[in-house]
């Protein structure tokens, strides 16, 4: 048995309440990450209380010692996602009866805010997670005037926790610049056995209308305005023109409010809808290039999934791509917002077969080493550190009432 495993067995366990407005089986990066963290903490012997809004799949499910369900409502202009209802009195009753040692608040909506207030009244340490750049979404949904107000609220919210966990170095630097305090890095992992090149399926590729020598250009993610999908469309059109000798097809996995518009713009593309588990892994492995034009990610779990699946990844030099891709070695990068550089990087992968072959091999080797166990262990350590906050850690937090 490894020394780290032995130490984990003898380390004292503690009780954690994790508050979130999204959780599996919902499909998004936050839900995926939280599902992995919860499973990992429970496997290490910790006691977890999950607090989340009721989902459609819950049917008549009731709350119990490990799960507290609240009401929720859909986010305006973002169907499929929801906010949790403010539940201050319900949380106070629960945590007076079943007091957690520490809270992890992963979302900043009404449910997260009421959790923060309840924790402060009961003097329970709080760790928060910055999972989503909501302040960047406002411009895409016609409410750009709220950007400053939302940034101010997010800073106020997170600065009232013992620490805030952020998933990437670029995100940490950006938040520090905006006055967020006590930031710590907690990256993401990937299941290298699930996401594996061996899952490649010729039958699936044939259903896409592709032979083995053809190129499947893959995009996985929510089909929504903040994902910068106009650049995906533009890149695909230019690649078709620049490489007429190759048969390229665009494959989109995911769903969202822009799907109908994209289907009109790209009648020849294949829209696969939402995919989960083995089916999702098969779709990844059956692609060749992974084109990821988003500029709004705090991390971008799909980048690691694509690397582990052995794809040639094209992305901007930020978040997960900045941490995990070495340009020209295991993927290609473009400077942030450099659309021409993004397209040229993608085109380089198609110039010579060896370019793509070498990059894909190196991508898999790197992705296979980015497992979840080390991430869970670091998350556990951050929560443990919050149990004994220092005076400096509490200074300037004021009151959240």
Per residue in 241-256, pLDDT (tens digit) is: 999 999 999 999 999 9
Per residue in 153-178, pLDDT (tens digit) is: 999 999 999 999 999 898 899 999 99
What would the mean pLDDT of 118-128 be, rounded to a whole number?
Answer: 97
Question: Which pair of tokens denotes residue 313?
Answer: 């990844």
Q: What global pTM score does this model have? A: 0.86
Segment (H or E) for 126: strand 126-129
- Mapped onto helix, strand or coil, the DSSP state of residue 64 is strand
What would the mean pLDDT of 259-266 be, rounded to a whole number?
Answer: 96
Domain segments of the chain as ranges: 3-189+372-394, 197-367
Contact between 167 and 298 under an 8 Å Cβ cutoff? The reply is yes
The per-residue pLDDT for 390 is 41
Looking at per-residue confidence, does 401 or 72 come out higher?
72
The per-residue pLDDT for 7 is 46
The percent of residues above 70 in pLDDT, for the chain, comes to: 88
Contact between 118 and 92 under an 8 Å Cβ cutoff? The reply is yes
The per-residue pLDDT for 144 is 52
What would the mean pLDDT of 53-80 be, rounded to a whole number?
Answer: 79
CATH node for 3-189+372-394: 3.40.50.2000
Do 3-189+372-394 and 197-367 have matching folds? yes
Per residue in 330-340, pLDDT (tens digit) is: 999 999 999 99
- Is 395 a residue whose pLDDT tops 80? no
The per-residue pLDDT for 253 is 98
Per residue in 77-113, pLDDT (tens digit) is: 555 566 677 789 999 999 999 999 999 999 898 999 9
Looking at per-residue confidence, does 81 or 47 come out higher?
47
The half-sphere exposure of 139 on its side-chain side, counting CA atoms within 13 A, is 11
The pLDDT-based confidence of 397 (bands split at 50, 70, 90) is very low
Per residue in 282-322, pLDDT (tens digit) is: 999 999 999 999 998 888 999 999 999 999 999 999 999 99
CATH pick for 197-367 out of 3.40.630.30, 1.20.1090.10, 3.40.50.10490, 3.40.50.2000: 3.40.50.2000
The per-residue pLDDT for 146 is 75
| Cβ partners under 8 Å of residue 137, min gap 6 | 226, 296
The per-residue pLDDT for 56 is 77
Q: Rounded mean pLDDT of the chain? A: 89
> In which residue are the tokens 């809004």 written?
53
272-282 burial string, b = 16+ CB within 10 Å, else e?
beebeeeebbb
R_g over Cα of the chain: 22
State CA 291 to chain mean position distance.
17
Residue 353, judged by CB atoms within 10 A of its CB (0-12, 13-18, 19+), counts as exposed
The per-residue pLDDT for 398 is 45
The pLDDT-based confidence of 29 (bands split at 50, 70, 90) is confident
- Is 145 a residue whose pLDDT tops 80? no
306-342 burial string, b = 16+ CB within 10 Å, else e?
bbbbbbbbbbbbbbbbbbbbeeeebbbbbeeeeeebb
């Amino acid at each position: 048995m490894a020394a780290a495993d032995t130490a984990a067995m003898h380390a004292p366990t503690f009780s954690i309440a994790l508050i979130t407005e999204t959780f599996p089986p919902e499909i998004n990066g936050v839900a995926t990450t939280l599902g992995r963290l919860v499973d990992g903490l429970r496997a290490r012997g910790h006691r977890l209380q999950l607090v989340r809004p009721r989902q459609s799949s819950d049917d008549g499910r009731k709350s119990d010692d490990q799960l507290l369900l609240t009401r929720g409502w859909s986010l305006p202009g973002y169907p499929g996602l929801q906010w949790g209802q403010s539940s201050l009195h319900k949380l106070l009753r629960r945590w007076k009866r079943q007091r957690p040692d520490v809270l992890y608040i992963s979302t900043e909506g009404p449910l997260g805010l009421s959790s923060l207030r309840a924790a402060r009244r009961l003097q329970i340490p709080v760790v928060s997670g910055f999972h989503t750049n909501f302040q960047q979404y406002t411009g895409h949904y016609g409410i750009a005037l709220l950007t400053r107000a939302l940034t101010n609220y997010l800073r106020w919210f997170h600065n009232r926790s013992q620490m805030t966990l952020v998933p990437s170095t670029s995100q940490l630097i950006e938040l520090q610049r905006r006055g967020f305090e006590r930031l710590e890095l907690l990256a993401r992992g990937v299941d290298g056995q699930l996401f594996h090149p061996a899952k490649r399926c010729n039958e699936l590729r044939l259903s896409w209308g592709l032979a083995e020598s053809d190129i499947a250009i893959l995009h996985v993610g929510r089909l929504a305005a903040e994902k910068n999908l106009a650049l995906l469309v533009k890149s695909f059109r230019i690649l078709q023109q620049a490489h007429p000798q190759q048969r390229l097809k665009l494959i989109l996995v995911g769903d969202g409010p822009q799907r109908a518009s994209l289907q009109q713009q790209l009648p020849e593309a294949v829209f696969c809808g939402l995919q989960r588990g083995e089916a999702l892994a098969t779709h990844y492995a059956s692609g060749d290039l992974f084109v990821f034009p988003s500029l709004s990610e705090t991390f971008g779990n799909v980048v690691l999934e694509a690397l582990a699946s052995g794809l040639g990844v094209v992305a901007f030099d930020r978040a997960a791509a900045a941490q995990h891709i070495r340009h020209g070695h295991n993927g290609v990068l473009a400077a942030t917002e450099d659309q021409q550089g993004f397209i040229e990087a993608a085109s380089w992968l198609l110039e010579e077969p060896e370019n793509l072959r070498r990059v894909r091999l190196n991508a898999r080797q790197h992705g296979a080493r980015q497992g979840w166990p080390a991430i869970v262990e670091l998350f556990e350590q951050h929560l443990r550190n919050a149990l004994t906050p220092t005076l400096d850690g509490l200074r300037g937090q004021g009151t959240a009432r």
